[in-house]
Amino acid sequence: MSHPGHHHQINYIEFASTDMERTKHFYATIFGWSFQDWGPDYASFSADSAGINGGFYRTEAHDAPAKTAPLIVLYSTNLEATQSAITEAGGEIVVPTFAFPGGHRFHFSDGTGNVLAVWSE
């Protein structure tokens, strides 16, 4: 399902978690978020309960900040064109395109210290 009205808009955010069950319990209890598990290392939440779609991925407490910082995910109707535009503007692809349940995505650096991701079906 394409989302043309969301092209290049913030669509998803990911956070790190060292304890998935504790994380889900905390956000469900305090904020009323509901979760869908995608195996033991990932749980997503929806805009219906959280205001934006997103998820938590399992990480270790000793991981570097770059692996534990929130990740903003943009949506693209044409992943390849967006990737080309990023590199042409001086950005760098830091995680090549990969598949996940629901689509494909890549991560990029904007050259000023920010790393974001872009996804599409």
Q: What b/e string do you get for 19-31 counting C-beta neighbours within 10 Å, with b at 16 or more? A: ebeebbeebeeee
Q: What CATH fold (topology level) applies to the domain 4-120?
A: 2,3-Dihydroxybiphenyl 1,2-Dioxygenase; domain 1 (3.10.180)
pTM value surpassing 0.85: no
pLDDT tens string 21-45: 999 999 999 989 999 999 999 999 9
pLDDT tens string 47-82: 999 999 999 999 887 777 667 789 999 999 999 999
Q: Distance of CA 10 to CAs 32, 54, 117, Å?
A: 22, 11, 10
